[in-house]
């Protein structure tokens, strides 16, 4: 189903996404509807106001059944514990990635480490979670998955599905009748949940789940160090891999080992701050030679190429491009010139 964390107000016709015929979760700013005066919210959309902690039900909404007990009490208790841990005075453990495997850390209430060692990772203990955002996020995931895996909700769900096709997209038939008959207590919530499209999609997704955190919680793992997907929980288990891209005896290694030469600050410079003796042609405003050639082709230049003597060519360009014999001929012609003038006199 579509999930959009924040729908921008400035996007043209953004409100049309709220008319989608499929279930969705879309976040909008508080001022979103102030700029969409002509838009009318559909009658089947629930609004959750995060600023005022209110849930606004649609006008034609169906009455939602209450959550089954005792699963409802357990869910509320675990969510309240996760919320309360955010307001604890203890500081979040910022250097958690530095602790090695096997070391136990008292995360809450100054609990000694020997008490934590007595709690295996397969037994739920709310005190193993920290008070940072990442740990509370893991605690919330654990609480929700434990609720849906409870006996009166979706426990044993896969026993009542039949796989019709795997490729290219899984197709699963959910036997709602046998599923409801297997519940310890018949509740309106489980009956209504079994008839939703989300349960059918869940049956297709669970054939090859892509969420490793869900799989670990589903296998009764509740330790955040085993569930968390942040590097601070598993960075100490990673082994560094060193790979050299060149041989130590190669010329590249010798070039890299030579310290870079530093330009002397005592060299004279002109008023602009650049070296007045050495002129670098790379300081041109053109980004590449192709840009320079294309710019020259666009210029309106008419006429023949002027004849430039070698000395002038050397003064204007690179002296290495002038041949030695051309310089010698130029020098001889200059020497012959004064002699002919003297003979005429």
With respect to residue 183, please indicate whether it lies within any of the assigned structural domains: yes
Helices (H) and strands (E) in the chain, counts: 13, 6
With respect to residue 261, please indicate whether it lies within any of the assigned structural domains: no
Phi/psi of residue 136, each to 5°? Answer: -65, -35
305 pLDDT higher than 60: no
Helix (H, G, I), strand (E, B) or coil at 54: strand
- Most confident by average pLDDT, 48-57, 97-106, 120-129, 233-242: 48-57
Candidate from 42-56, 60-74, 246-260, 312-326 with smallest mean pLDDT: 312-326
With respect to residue 271, please indicate whether it lies within any of the assigned structural domains: no
Q: Assess whether 88 and 164 both reside in one domain.
A: yes
Dist CA 202 CA 198 (whole Å): 6
With respect to residue 307, please indicate whether it lies within any of the assigned structural domains: no
Dist CA 315 CA 334 (whole Å): 17
pLDDT confidence bin for 119, thresholds 50/70/90: very low
CB of 162 closer than 8 Å to CB of 175: yes
Q: Assess whether 55 and 171 both reside in one domain.
A: no
**237, 264, 295 — which closes off a domain?**
237
Residue 60 to residues 23, 48, 56, 190, 257, Cα–Cα distance (Å): 16, 16, 12, 22, 75
From the CA atom positions of the chain, what is the Rg in Å? 39
Q: Assess whether 4 and 141 both reside in one domain.
A: no
Q: Assess whether 83 and 162 both reside in one domain.
A: yes
Q: Are strands 161-165 and 54-56 parallel, antiparallel or unpaired?
A: unpaired
The residue-averaged pLDDT of 128-154 equals 83
With respect to residue 35, please indicate whether it lies within any of the assigned structural domains: yes
The domain in which residue 56 lies consists of: 1-62
**193, 222, 237 — which closes off a domain?**
237
Dist CA 126 CA 118 (whole Å): 14
**What is the tens place of the pLDDT at every residue in 81-106?**
888 877 665 554 444 444 444 443 34
With respect to residue 252, please indicate whether it lies within any of the assigned structural domains: no
The predicted pLDDT at position 153 comes to 92
Dist CA 27 CA 5 (whole Å): 5
Dist CA 186 CA 284 (whole Å): 81
Helix (H, G, I), strand (E, B) or coil at 297: helix
pLDDT > 90 in the chain, percent: 6
With respect to residue 139, please indicate whether it lies within any of the assigned structural domains: yes
Torsion sign over Cα 123, 128, 131, 137: negative
Q: Assess whether 102 and 192 both reside in one domain.
A: yes
Q: Assess whether 9 and 131 both reside in one domain.
A: no
pLDDT confidence bin for 73, thresholds 50/70/90: very high
Q: Assess whether 86 and 221 both reside in one domain.
A: yes
pLDDT confidence bin for 311, thresholds 50/70/90: low
Q: Assess whether 34 and 141 both reside in one domain.
A: no
Of residues 142 and 119, the one with the higher pLDDT is 142
pTM for the predicted model, two decimal places:
0.55
251 pLDDT higher than 60: yes
The predicted pLDDT at position 313 comes to 53
Q: Assess whether 15 and 128 both reside in one domain.
A: no
**191, 218, 237 — which closes off a domain?**
237
Q: Assess whether 23 and 146 both reside in one domain.
A: no
Q: How many domains in the chain?
A: 2
Q: Look up tokens 């629930």; give the residue.
A: 46
Q: Roughly how many angstroms between the first and final C-alpha of the chain, as a whole number? A: 105
Angle between helices 71-85 and 133-148 (to 10 degrees): 180
- Most confident by average pLDDT, 199-203, 272-276, 296-300, 310-314: 199-203
The predicted pLDDT at position 233 comes to 79
**What is the tens place of the pLDDT at every residue in 185-224?**
889 999 999 988 888 888 888 888 888 888 888 888 887 7
Candidate from 111-125, 199-213, 236-250, 255-269 with smallest mean pLDDT: 111-125
Q: Assess whether 82 and 215 both reside in one domain.
A: yes
Q: Assess whether 31 and 88 both reside in one domain.
A: no
The residue-averaged pLDDT of 119-142 equals 68
CB of 26 closer than 8 Å to CB of 4: yes
pLDDT confidence bin for 294, thresholds 50/70/90: low
Give which of 38, 47, 44, 49 is closest to 15, Cα–Cα.
38
Helix (H, G, I), strand (E, B) or coil at 173: strand
Helices assigned H by DSSP within the chain:
71-85, 113-117, 133-148, 176-181, 188-194, 197-205, 212-218, 224-227, 231-234, 251-257, 289-298, 310-316, 324-344
Dist CA 202 CA 213 (whole Å): 16
With respect to residue 259, please indicate whether it lies within any of the assigned structural domains: no
Residue 125 to residues 78, 83, 103, Cα–Cα distance (Å): 10, 15, 17
The residue-averaged pLDDT of 238-261 equals 78
Give which of 115, 92, 93, 117 is closest to 103, Cα–Cα.
117
The predicted pLDDT at position 118 comes to 42
């Amino acid at each position: 189903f579509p999930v959009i964390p924040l729908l921008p107000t400035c996007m043209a016709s953004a409100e049309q996404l709220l008319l989608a015929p499929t279930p969705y979760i879309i976040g909008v700013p508080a001022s979103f509807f102030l700029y969409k005066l002509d838009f009318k919210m559909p009658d089947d959309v629930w609004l959750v106001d995060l600023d005022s902690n209110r849930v606004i039900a649609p006008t034609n909404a169906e009455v939602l059944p209450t959550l089954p007990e005792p699963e409802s009490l357990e869910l509320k208790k675990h969510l309240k514990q996760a919320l309360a841990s955010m307001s604890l005075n203890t500081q979040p453990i910022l250097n958690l990635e530095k602790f090695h495997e096997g070391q136990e850390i008292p995360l809450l209430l100054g609990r000694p480490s020997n008490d934590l060692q007595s709690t295996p990772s397969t037994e739920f203990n709310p005190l193993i979670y920290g008070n940072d955002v990442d740990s509370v996020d893991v605690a919330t995931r654990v609480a929700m998955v434990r609720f849906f895996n409870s006996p009166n909700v979706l426990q044993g769900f896969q026993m009542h599905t039949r796989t019709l096709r795997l490729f290219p997209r899984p197709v699963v038939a959910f036997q709602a009748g046998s599923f409801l008959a297997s519940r310890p207590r018949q509740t309106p919530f489980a009956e209504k949940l079994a008839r939703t499209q989300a349960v059918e999609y869940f049956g297709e997704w669970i054939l090859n789940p892509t969420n490793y955190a869900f799989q670990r919680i589903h296998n009764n793992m509740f330790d955040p160090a085993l569930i968390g997907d942040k590097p601070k929980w598993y960075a100490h288990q990673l082994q560094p891999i060193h790979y050299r891209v060149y041989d130590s005896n190669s010329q590249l290694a010798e070039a890299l080992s030579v310290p870079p030469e530093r330009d002397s600050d005592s060299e004279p410079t002109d008023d602009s701050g650049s070296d007045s003796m050495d002129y670098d042609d790379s300081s041109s405003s053109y980004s590449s030679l192709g840009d320079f050639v294309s710019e020259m082709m666009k210029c309106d230049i008419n006429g023949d190429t002027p004849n430039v003597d070698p000395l002038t060519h050397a003064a204007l360009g690179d002296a290495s491009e002038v041949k030695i014999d051309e310089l010698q001929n130029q020098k001889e012609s200059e020497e012959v010139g004064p002699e002919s003038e003297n003979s005429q006199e």
